[in-house]
Structure formats: structure tokens, C-alpha cells
Amino acid sequence: MPLQDTAVWRIGEAAQRSGVSAANIRFYEKQKLLAPSARADNRYRLYSDADVHRLRFIRLCRTMDMSLGEVRTLVALNAQPPADTHAACHTLDEHLAHVRARRKELQALEQDLRALRSRCDGSDDAHCHVLDALHAQADAQANAAPGATLAGAPPKRHV
């Protein structure tokens, strides 16, 4: 069934059909990932089946943790004739590199959390040392030179 371009869905209906909140639909319009919506006489935003499909596409990319820039690239490639089919692969390769780097960061974070958790195993005394260790790390970060990292580790990106 071909997608129709006639705008028939108000923003709430488009949100429900696409799984994207109305607030995010407005945001994606501001980010130019979605063309400005048509307006009814009463100024309500109206969306077509093609718009709803694009919203689903954007939502899928975002659930894969793609940045807005990556999504923008894929949306732009989708709107062009398929001259360079490898451009989408290049975008995906860059995202995979980001995911791999993030996975390493998360593994390091897990190790840090496990080490911190071990400070409260009940073997030394009845006092849990987790908060003491957190305070010590916070002080060590405050005393480090700007941009420096603790123990040569890469800066944490979790925050």
C-alpha cells in the first residue's frame, strides 16, 4: 500500500500512530528532520502517512542510539536517488565505532562500580565505606588539574 501525502492526522494521532510523542514531533520539525507540518484552518498541525512513516524511521534510528546528526544524514540519503548506497553504510560504520567505544566505557564503569561496591562487603567492620570512597574520589577530581584524568583513565562520559 503506497503512503499517501495528504495530511490527515493531527499531531496527537500522528504521535499515536508513530510512537513518537507530540513534543518530539515538534522537536524533530525544529531540527528539520521532518518537514514543517501542514496546518488546518484552525492552525492544528496535520501529518500524512508519509510523515508518520518518517517519524517511525526516526524513532527506530534513535532507539539504536543514533545521534541527531546520524539520523539527519540517513534521512537526507533516503530523500536522494540511490546513487551512493555505501554512504548509509559509512554512517552505520561510524555509529558502530561509537557504540564500541561506549561499550568499553560502560565496561570500565562497571568495573569501577564493582570496586566501589566491594568497599561495603561487611568483612572489615560494620561500617560501609562506599560513601567514604565516593567522597575521596570527588576530592581527588577536585584537586586534579583541569582536563586531567584519574589514573590515566579516559574521562567518564556517563554524566
More confident residue, 38 or 24: 24
What pTM, to 2 d.p., does this model score? 0.72
- Whether the Cβ atoms of residue 37 and residue 45 lie closer than 8 Å to each other: yes
pLDDT-based confidence at residue 94 (cuts at 50, 70, 90): very high
Residues, the chain, total?
A: 159
Q: State the pLDDT confidence band at 10, using cuts at 50, 70 and 90.
A: very high
98: pLDDT strictly greater than 90: yes
pLDDT, tens digit, 9 for 90 and up, residues 26-47: 999 999 999 888 888 888 889 9
CA 111 to CA 106: how far, in whole Å? 9
Mean pLDDT of 115-138: 80
